[in-house]
Homo-oligomer: A and B are copies of this chain.
Amino acid sequence: MQAHALSKVAPDRVAAAFAELKALLGPRATTAQAVRDHHAKDESWHVPVAPDAVVFPHSTEEVAEVVRICARHEVPMVPFGTGTSLEGHVIPVRGGVTIDMTQMNQVVRVSAEDLDVTVQPGVTRKQLNEHLRATGLFFPIDPGADASIGGMTATRASGTNAVRYGTMRENVLALTAVMPDGRVIRTARRARKSAAGYDLTRLLVGSEGTLGVITEITLRLYGIPEAISSAVCSFETIAGAVDTVIATIQSGIPVARIELLDDRQMEAINKYSGFDYPVRSTLFLEFHGTPASVREQAEQVQAISAENGGGGFSWTTKPEERTRLWQARHDAAYAAKAMRPGKSLWATDVCVPISRLAECITETKRDLDESQLYSAIVGHVGDGNFHIAFVLDRDDPAEMAEAERLNERLVMRALAMEGTCTGEHGVGLGKMNFLLAEHGEAIAVMRQIKQAIDPLDLMNPGKIFSL
């Protein structure tokens, strides 16, 4: 187990900053142990570290003032949303102040005409779609958890719809952010495209809180499709399922969702969500469009899956059945975790070019079958992205070492296939060791940017890379 809590900030600096934060925010600045403990961890296997204090700002101006106070006293800051990170992003490994954004949870404006919306960072993805319901629009990015839009932006999240609608990278139009010097910037206006200067929007998307605090996000929206149908299809072999995905993508069929779950994941989901699907490699699919185009897409994919050993589609066209199906898919990690109550989740996250996906998954599955560690595979395979959920005892060095060994083999396999160590979870603490292998010299350029924007290394220090 790694100990990240090195070189924590000096207590006198924290005390001086906290006095000013208290004066600014009153009861919304706290050092209460229970609150600090709540902000010490995420949903991963990473070792908790409590912040020295937690603040709950209500506005961009308050965040700017918090940042100025912390900067003046050289106290580290960590933005915090729903705490559903899988890579330790929100763990304040150097101590300091956690800036909890959950009370900034207002939808600022919706423009149905422009298909966009501006939200505060504490709005969650479900809250946003609930808010949009009457407009006929929706926001498609959907990580497993009901994450905050701020956290999703900071980690460049995606989810099951990314194969059709893109990730946060493609769907954030503009950001308001407080930079480490307390300066408030807006990265872009509301035009759909712009060639006006450096793309600060995309620089902050995925920056994991290391370059500033995101306080407002303008997102693209989409019309709820006229017709939606979902399907479940099980396969004799995992290779057959993956080959179906590859052929579907290569045919250019605009499938909205195409998700792989292996036999162990299906067993877990059946148990957790009360289904009785065959315990075999399975695809969950969804089609969006006009009634005619949805039918056409579904027929095309059904034909492809039949060629690859896929057992007849079971359709779920009723909204409530679809919702139940996709909630089960979103709960996949929790379902796996429930197979070993009380244990921790370690989710891997590689993404490879689709031409290498069958090879990557087959070799990985062989590794897992040879291991004693509990694991299940689930993935956004239309993008070439899949996860292993290890469920393990964080206090058992043998289990931790085995997960580390399997994860390292997986990442190195993905990198050798021109893939990435993280498709959507981000680097946080968990992928720092792989960043040099993936990016080489480019890391030096990332460091130049970090040092220029945050010379005192106060914004979520110790994440992505160490300075």
Which residues of A line the B interface, CB within 8 A? 111-116, 155-158, 162, 166-167, 169-170, 179, 183-200, 202-203, 205-207, 211, 222-223, 225, 246, 249-252, 289-290, 292-293, 296, 349, 351-355, 383-385, 414-415, 418-427, 431, 434-435, 438-446, 448-453, 464-465
Q: When the two chains form their complex, are residues A185 and B445 in contact, meaning their CB atoms are under 8 A apart? A: yes
Name which residue of chain B comes closest to A438, CB basis.
B196
CB distance from A412 to the nearest CB of B (A): 13
In the complex, which of the residues B185, B198, B296, B443 contacts A197, with contact meaning CB atoms closer than 8 Å?
B443
CB distance from A303 to the nearest CB of B (A): 14
Q: A169-B202, A293-B296, A419-B189 are in contact. Are A427 and B352 (CB under 8 A)?
A: no
Name which residue of chain B comes closest to A290, CB basis.
B296
Q: How far is the CA of A249 from the CA of B200 in the complex (A)?
A: 27
Q: How far is the CA of A111 from the CA of B45 in the complex (A)?
A: 38
Closest 8 CB pairs of A and B: A452-B452, A202-B202, A223-B252, A113-B355, A194-B420, A191-B351, A185-B442, A190-B418
Name which residue of chain B comes closest to A352, CB basis.
B191
Q: When the two chains form their complex, are residues A222 and B252 in contact, meaning their CB atoms are under 8 A apart? A: yes
In the complex, which of the residues B189, B435, B452 contacts A449, with contact meaning CB atoms closer than 8 Å?
B452
14 further interface pairs, Cβ-Cβ under 8 Å (given A199-B205, A449-B452): A113-B246, A115-B250, A162-B193, A169-B199, A190-B419, A191-B351, A195-B426, A196-B431, A196-B434, A197-B443, A197-B464, A197-B465, A203-B449, A449-B453
Q: When the two chains form their complex, are residues B442 and A453 in contact, meaning their CB atoms are under 8 A apart? A: no
Q: Can you offer 26 A-B residue contacts whose CB atoms are under 8 A? A: A111-B355, A112-B250, A115-B354, A156-B194, A156-B195, A156-B199, A166-B170, A170-B170, A185-B445, A190-B418, A191-B352, A192-B383, A194-B422, A194-B423, A195-B206, A195-B420, A196-B431, A196-B438, A197-B442, A197-B443, A197-B446, A197-B465, A198-B449, A199-B205, A292-B296, A449-B453
CB distance from A384 to the nearest CB of B (A): 6
Q: Which of A166, A191, A199, A207 has the most CB of B within 10 A?
A: A191
- For A190, the chain B residues whose CB sits under 8 A away are 353, 418-419
Q: How far is the CA of A440 from the CA of B177 in the complex (A)?
A: 13
CB distance from A392 to the nearest CB of B (A): 23
Q: How far is the CA of A450 from the CA of B452 in the complex (A)?
A: 9
Q: How far is the CA of A438 from the CA of B443 in the complex (A)?
A: 31
Q: When the two chains form their complex, are residues B453 and A384 in contact, meaning their CB atoms are under 8 A apart? A: no
CB distance from A183 to the nearest CB of B (A): 5
Q: When the two chains form their complex, are residues B195 and A422 in contact, meaning their CB atoms are under 8 A apart? A: yes
Q: When the two chains form their complex, are residues A191 and B420 in contact, meaning their CB atoms are under 8 A apart? A: yes
Name which residue of chain B comes closest to A154, CB basis.
B195
Q: How far is the CA of A421 from the CA of B441 in the complex (A)?
A: 34
Q: Which of A384, A418, A465 has the most CB of B within 10 A?
A: A418
Q: When the two chains form their complex, are residues A445 and B453 in contact, meaning their CB atoms are under 8 A apart? A: yes
